[in-house]
Chain A
Amino acid sequence: RKEVEQDPGPFNVPEGATVAFNCTYSNSASQSFFWYRQDCRKEPKLLMSVYSSGNEDGRFTAQLNRASQYISLLIRDSKLSDSATYLCVVDNAGNMLTFGGGTRLMVKP
């Protein structure tokens, strides 16, 4: 089983739609969680950290479910510019990060 698993997609959604991605992780001792965004042929960039209580940043909401060992990312009112690959990132219960393979989102006009 992969340490961090994501549905690779692609998720094809129309502009204005709400879309959600889930990510599961295998290490129950993991404490830190992040979502990164990666545009085609570009480097990953931190989108948001994921806190235990859940957190929101504009149209983006991240949730953590420790019992089921998954995190989610919800994007409301999708924009064309949201098209990218979203990487789920989890610490390995040490001080290293493990990256999921990414979920590709394509927002269509």
Chain B
Amino acid sequence: DVKVTQSSRYLVKRTGEKVFLECVQDMDHENMFWYRQDPGLGLRLIYFSYDVKMKEKGDIPEGYSVSREKKERFSLILESASTNQTSMYLCASSLLGGVQPQHFGDGTRLSIL
């Protein structure tokens, strides 16, 4: 079974803080993704990566950056957290090649005060 692990289930931070969300997968997947999910808006792609040190912007990259130094780990960084970044953040991974189903972590519910 694919295991995608996110470092925190719940996180509370303050406006202006730099926030790190970590994601690790154990299935040697090439692709990794960061989404946020908000009521009425569904899942929206922030960034994705198809290889170590590679990253691509998704639909809503503003205010975020990512880091992929190792194949199994994909980090999402909020450079200067703002209240509109309060959301559920979901990490996912998938195999490379064609369009593969994605496997999700448990999610991190982030609140910015």
User: Interface code A4-30, partner B: CB below 8 Å = 1, 0 otherwise?
Assistant: 000000000000000000000000000
- Counting residue pairs across A and B whose Cβ atoms lie within 8 Å, the total is 41
B91, closest chain A residue (CB): A43
Min CB–CB distance A10 → chain B (angstroms): 14
A32 proximity list for chain B (CB < 8 A): 98-99
Count how many chain A residues have C-beta atoms less than 8 Å from C-beta atoms of the other chain. Answer: 19
- Chain A residues with CB under 8 Å of chain B are 31-32, 34, 41-46, 49, 87, 91, 95-97, 99-102
- Chain B residues with CB under 8 Å of chain A are 31, 35, 40-43, 45, 48, 58, 90, 98-99, 101-107, 109
Those 7 A-B pairs whose CB atoms lie nearest each other, nearest first: A32-B99, A43-B104, A101-B42, A99-B43, A91-B99, A46-B101, A43-B107
